[in-house]
Amino acid sequence: MELYSTQNKNLRVSFKDAVFNSMPLDKGLYMPEVIPQVNSKFIDQIEKYTFPEIAFEIAYTLLKDEIPEDQLKKLIEDAVNFEAPVVKLDDSTFVLELFHGPSLAFKDFGARFMSRVMGYFLKEDEPLLDVLVATSGDTGGAVALGFLGVSNTRVTILYPKGKVSPIQELQLTTNGQNIRAVEIEGTFDDCQALVKQAFANEELNHKFRLTSANSINIARLIPQTFYYFNAYAQLKRKGVKQITFAVPSGNFGNIGAGLLAYKMGLPVKQFIAATNVNDTVPRYLETGVYQTKPSVPTYSNAMDVGAPSNWERIMDLFNNDQDAVKAMVQAYRFTDEETLSGMKAIFDKYDYIACPHTAIAYLATERYKNESQIKGEATVFLSTAHPCKFPEVFPVEVAAKIEVPVQVKDLTNKLKQSEQLAANFDAFKDYLMRF
């Protein structure tokens, strides 16, 4: 498997190089030179396979030249060891629950797979691997648990001070060992910019072996395709034949993985990108002008991204053809007030408790159905985080019904450990150089 940069298609690197040097020096993103097709017979019979079996087939289709089959199978079985169930709400509405992993967020799939891939490639006598990651909420917790205790690695997590939920912050800051947390006086976009500047800095790259655990890393994107194929398998068992996915979207890695799955042969009619008021992509699809803007805080904080990195990958998947993208991706935006209304609506109608991100995907599903007047078609919206992470957003009577997992209860007994820095690259560089 060779990869090129979205900024330079003549560049070629191996999968291993792309994993450990997550961002090309030209600041593009790595993409497979060829997107292989999943065996059509496998797709036709996909409902007969388990989730780990499906994940292995997809991973092997992409990586068979990179990791031996037996090692890849072990890696998958270790990384994908929890469920991603499709829950039926009515005959045409389903929710894909992606929060059953250790950090209670969909990013567990990418973080666990990536950490194990890196562990496979790392040799004991190699230099320490420094993993830098910016988070708007859930990425940091998933990466922390994915890499906690992994030998020869050190993880530095940047997060915007005061802009993640209390539980998310505890997941970031209470790990110790090889995990460090840095509070940045700014937004997620500031955190992401600092990480990108670090990768482009010659002095830091000379001293440290730097890589990223954000969705800019191709090893984060690949495993997120697994649950799209698995959702299709579950729906086939229910007799569903035509599917539209609605995806809560911030940095656009999640929906990017879905579109990669589609390009690999997954039968999907339509994708819906559901955003909050950080609406760079909806504005682009409406106007044809791609213009980033500073992010603003919302209840759906993991989607508070004004400059979504992975949109470049999505455009590349469609050869930068805006019309082709618009034909496959419909986008909607929602305010905080609408988000709260959506949370109430889904609870009142289905007795289902949805986090703010999930509620936005539900609202997008409903709007799409109303506008397109579809009938007899399944729409699946993705639930990306456990509602227990956002207790302050729910009415008291609804919050009381949320089942809080044991790992969250245990967090409250742990001590927060973090460094506070200004959104200034020199300050961040000095912090890194001190250790």
In 3D space, the residue among 1, 381, 57, 54 whose CA is nearest the CA of residue 218 turns out to be: 1
Give how far the C-alpha of residue 352 lies from the chain's centroid of Cα atoms, to the nearest Å.
23
Phi-psi bin for 420: left (phi > 0), alpha (psi -120 to 50), beta?
Answer: beta
Residues 220/255, Cβ–Cβ less than 8 Å: no
Q: Which tokens go with 223?
A: 């495993």
Token couple for 190: 């500031």
Phi, psi of 159 (to 5 degrees): -140, 150
Catalytic one of 107, 163, 196, 236: 107
Nearest to 80 by CA among 104, 106, 109, 53: 109
Q: Nearest CA to 57 among 65, 43, 111?
A: 43
Amino acid present at 117: V
Residue 415 CA to residue 181 CA, distance in Å, equals 12
Residues 6 or more apart from 138 whose CB is under 8 A from it?
Answer: 103, 105, 106, 107, 168, 302, 384, 385, 389
107 is catalytic: yes
The answer to whether the beta carbons of residues 23 and 6 sit under 8 Å apart is no
Alpha carbon 400 to chain centroid distance?
Answer: 28
CA atoms within 13 A on the CB side of 214: 33
Any idea of the CA torsion for 303, 309, 313, 315, to the nearest 10 degrees?
80
Q: Which residues are catalytic?
A: 107
